[in-house]
């Protein structure tokens, strides 16, 4: 998933009544789609018309403050996305002025074919437009059992370890295949489900525990332990691909000191939102 935030320094402005602010947000969304339908030009060059963006109330309800990360805001709102942009304008007294500023500063982003959804909101003279490409919904009904998903990851990991690899700048020789360990699988499942239930993404659980303590809790006496986590991928292979392209996760996978692993996913109750959390636990027993 990719996320970007563009910002303009804000100026103080009086607040509007909520109803008026909502109406202006809807008008701004309509003006963006009108611009996409007949852009004329962008940055001095002719621009091709684009498909309209679908208004999404959940995007209009998101409120971003200074330093906020759009990825985290979308996750809290239960909106799974592959790509998102937040555009900020300050000092515009009306919707026409806001649209003019957006066209001047962000015309290429407004006309990007990468986005399919839009939300907007106004706070005084501050305007925010959020553009997004929603993640495809997960196949909730036919989603594999977590053990089957773990076996897909295990097979992919062992195929990867069978050859010499480079993780970032570190070269690794081929490593022996890993064995599936049910206790490590249980530890991975518990952490994935906990992240999904409490809506957080971290190696540190809400109870303060780390992978070592969680593995012991699951009944695994370890000599060495490691963990990879992922968020938002809709298939086991996609989760594995994300780890393999990340130097730190890749290094965990290629570490010859690990001999066993377990992996699992957890999904939020709102399955239509596509919020999936993945955990892989790697270990070497005592």
Supply the pLDDT for residue 73. Answer: 84
pLDDT at 135: 76
Query: What are the phi and psi torsion angles at 165 (to 5°)?
Result: -135, 160
Give Cβ neighbours of residue 68 (< 8 Å, ≥ 6 apart): none
pLDDT in the model for residue 283: 98
119 conformational bin, left if phi > 0, alpha if psi -120 to 50, beta if neither: beta
Low-confidence residues of the chain: pLDDT under 50: 1-15, 141, 271-272
Whole-angstrom Cα distance, residue 169 to residue 175?
Answer: 18
203 DSSP 8-state letter: S
Q: Is 0.75 topped by the overall pTM?
A: no
Separation of alpha carbons 206 and 191, rounded Å = 10
What is the Cα–Cα distance from 96 to 3, expressed in whole angstroms?
Answer: 27
Extract the tokens encoding 126: 């501050």
């Amino acid at each position: 998933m990719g996320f970007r935030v563009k910002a303009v320094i804000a100026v103080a402005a009086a607040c509007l009544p909520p109803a008026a602010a909502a109406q202006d947000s809807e008008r701004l969304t309509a003006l963006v789609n009108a611009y996409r339908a007949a852009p004329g030009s962008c940055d001095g060059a002719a621009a091709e018309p684009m498909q309209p963006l679908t208004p999404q109330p959940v995007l209009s309800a998101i409120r971003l403050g200074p330093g906020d990360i759009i990825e985290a805001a979308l996750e809290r709102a239960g909106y799974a996305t592959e790509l998102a942009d937040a555009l900020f304008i300050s000092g515009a007294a009306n919707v026409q002025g806001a649209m003019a500023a957006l066209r001047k500063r962000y015309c290429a982003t407004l006309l990007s074919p990468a986005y399919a959804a839009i939300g907007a909101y106004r706070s005084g003279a501050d305007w925010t437009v959020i553009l997004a490409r929603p993640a495809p919904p997960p196949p909730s009904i036919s989603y594999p059992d977590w053990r089957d998903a773990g076996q897909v990851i295990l097979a992919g990991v062992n195929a990867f370890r069978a050859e010499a690899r480079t993780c970032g700048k570190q070269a690794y020789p081929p490593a022996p295949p890993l064995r599936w360990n049910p206790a490590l699988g249980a530890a991975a499942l518990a952490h994935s489900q906990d992240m999904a239930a409490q809506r957080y993404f971290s190696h540190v659980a809400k109870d303060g525990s780390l992978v070592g303590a969680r593995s012991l809790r699951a009944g695994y006496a370890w000599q060495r332990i490691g963990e990879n986590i992922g968020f938002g991928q809709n298939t086991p292979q996609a989760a594995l691909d994300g780890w393999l392209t990340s130097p730190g996760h890749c290094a965990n996978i290629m570490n010859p000191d690990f001999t066993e692993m377990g992996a699992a996913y957890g999904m939020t109750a709102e399955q239509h939102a596509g919020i999936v959390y993945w955990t892989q636990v790697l270990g070497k027993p005592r």
